[in-house]
Amino acid sequence: MNALSSMRKSMHSLTRRDEVFEFLKPDVHPAIDTRHNILLYVEGVNKSFDGFKAINDLNLYIKEGELRCIIGPNGAGKTTMMDIITGKTKPDTGEVWLGSNINLLKMNEAEIANAGVGRKFQKPTVIECLSVWQNLELAMSGVRSVWGTFTARMTGEQKDKLLSVLELIHLKDEAQNNAGNLSHGQKQWLEIGMLLMQNPKLLLVDEPVAGMTHQEMDRTSELLNSLAGKHSVVVVEHDMDFVRSIASHVTVLHQGHVLAEGTMDQVQAHPEVKQVYLGE
Binding partner of residue 42 among Mg ion, ligand ADP, none, CB under 5 to 8 Å per kind?
Answer: none
Pick the closer one to ligand ADP by CB: 18 or 272. 272
How many residues sit close enough to ligand ADP to count as binding (CB under 6 A)? 10
Going from the C-alpha of 49 to that of each of 32, 45, 89, the distances in angstroms are: 32, 14, 11
- Show the site string, 175-214: x = touches Mg ion by CB under 5 A, - = not: ----------------------------------------
Q: Provide the angle, in degrees to the nearest 10, between the axes of the packed helices 184-196 and 156-168.
A: 140
76 binds ligand ADP (CB under 6 A): yes
Q: Shortest distance, CB of residue 210 to Mg ion, whole angstroms?
A: 11
80 binds ligand ADP (CB under 6 A): yes
Pick the closer one to ligand ADP by CB: 78 or 119. 78
Instruction: Let me know if 67 is exposed, middle or buried by CB neighbors in 10 A (0-12, 13-18, 19+).
Output: buried
79 binds Mg ion (CB under 5 A): yes
Neighbours of 151 (CB within 10 A): 9
* d(C-alpha 279, C-alpha 272), whole Å: 10
198 binds ligand ADP (CB under 6 A): no
In this structure, are residues 15 and 35 in contact, taking their beta carbons and an 8 Å threshold? no
79 binds ligand ADP (CB under 6 A): yes
Chain centroid to Cα 124, Å, comes to 14
74 binds ligand ADP (CB under 6 A): yes
Pick the closer one to ligand ADP by CB: 166 or 205. 205
* d(C-alpha 19, C-alpha 57), whole Å: 34
Pick the closer one to Mg ion by CB: 79 or 135. 79
Q: Provide the angle, in degrees to the nearest 10, between the axes of the packed helices 214-227 and 156-168.
A: 140
Q: Shortest distance, CB of residue 41 to Mg ion, whole angstroms?
A: 22
* d(C-alpha 5, C-alpha 24), whole Å: 11
Q: Shortest distance, CB of residue 206 to Mg ion, whole angstroms?
A: 7
Binding site residues, ligand ADP, CB under 6 A: 49, 54, 72, 74-80
Binding site residues, Mg ion, CB under 5 A: 78-79
